[in-house]
Amino acid sequence: GAALALAACSSGAPSADSSGDSGGSDNKTIAFVQGVAGDEFYITMQCGIEEKAKELGYTVTTQGPQKFDPTLQKPIVDSVTASKPAALLVAPTDVQAMQAPLEQAAAAGIKVVLVDTTVNDPSFAVSQISSDNIGGGKAAFEAIQEAKPDGGKVLVISTDPGISTVDARVDGFEEATKGDSSFTYLGVQYSHNDPATAANLVSAALQKDPDIVGIFATNLFAAEGSATGVRQAGAKDVTIVGFDAGPNQIKALQDGTVQALVAQQPSTIGMDGVEQADAALTGGSVEKEIQTGFTIITKDNLSGEGGDAAYKST
């Protein structure tokens, strides 16, 4: 099973665990199930969840699978369902595989809020909160366009098909490439959320097409691996635009390995998630869908607004 994840948030200690509370109207427990443990995006989201939960009088437990993998996430969700928290905030790892386990959680009377990712039919969820992922993919292409105004070949490194967020980023990017005929879209390759695999894919792609001018890496681990791959290939003039802004990504931006980052607002997603769960539990008005924004970070705004968008780490 997954260990309880404790995050080092700036706003005080993580809240207590939920042992002993098992349903009923006085149930003030929220379970958070991350897409993957140890990912700064979900750690930052956890901080937002804990902060808002404390304010509204809930206790939070956080767990995540060791890999971004529904076969590992499903048993965690099943055990959370059995423990009957009042609400479940969850980032499903696959649009299809997590459908039934989450429907079961909702059928057990748990208020399910989808944070970050979603599933094919989210109608069982009281609310879903995520970034504008299509817009983020489009913004990533615009950052490449700005760095490489003459155009050229562009490649996307994503994680796995079936993850709603990264799929939407790929779609947004691909759609944007169609609007500028000076660019050639080489398609998407999948790294299974493993930086070493992403690095190998990028090295191989640069061997095949040494004239690649830009790479869009659709999440933290894809960005980390893409930067390594470009470095290993000794390619000097490839623009990498990454999604997410963990400490490694910020460092890569400072080093000049990565030229731009699309930073999400994971803390806000978490806080909104708790608010929606609370509204559902107390008969307040619930928003079915909330879209949060993003910030483009480059070296130029890193010390200001861009720097504020950086994620927390453990």
Q: Which residues of this protein are in contact with ligand T6T, per CB under 6 A? A: 35, 39, 41-42, 116-117, 163, 165-166, 219-221, 243-244, 264
Residue (8 or 82) nearer to ligand T6T, CB = 8
CB of residue 39 to ligand T6T, shortest distance in Å: 5
Report how far apart, in Å, the C-alpha atoms of 271 and of each of 97, 147, 278, 298 are: 26, 35, 11, 26
Measured in degrees and rounded to the nearest 5, phi and psi for residue 304 equal: -115, -120
For the beta carbon of residue 152, count every other beta carbon within 10 angstroms.
17
Contacts of 74 by beta carbon, 8 Å cutoff, 6+ apart: 97, 98, 101
CB of residue 266 to ligand T6T, shortest distance in Å: 8
Residue (213 or 215) nearer to ligand T6T, CB = 215
CB of residue 163 to ligand T6T, shortest distance in Å: 6
> Contact, 216 vs 241, CB < 8 A?
yes
CB of residue 269 to ligand T6T, shortest distance in Å: 9
Residue (206 or 220) nearer to ligand T6T, CB = 220
Residue (58 or 243) nearer to ligand T6T, CB = 243
- From the list 61, 65, 12, the residue with the least C-alpha distance to 39 is 65
CB of residue 310 to ligand T6T, shortest distance in Å: 13
Q: Which residue is nearest to ligand T6T (CB)?
A: 220
Residue (116 or 272) nearer to ligand T6T, CB = 116
Question: Distance from CA of residue 314 to its chain's centroid?
Answer: 16
Quote the CA–CA distance of 174 and 202 in Å, as a whole number: 18
In the block, which residue shows the tokens 């607004």? 305
Residue (128 or 165) nearer to ligand T6T, CB = 165
Residue (92 or 306) nearer to ligand T6T, CB = 92
- How buried is residue 254: exposed, middle or buried, by Cβ count under 10 Å (0-12/13-18/19+)? exposed
CB of residue 80 to ligand T6T, shortest distance in Å: 19
Quote the CA–CA distance of 18 and 62 in Å, as a whole number: 10
CB of residue 42 to ligand T6T, shortest distance in Å: 6
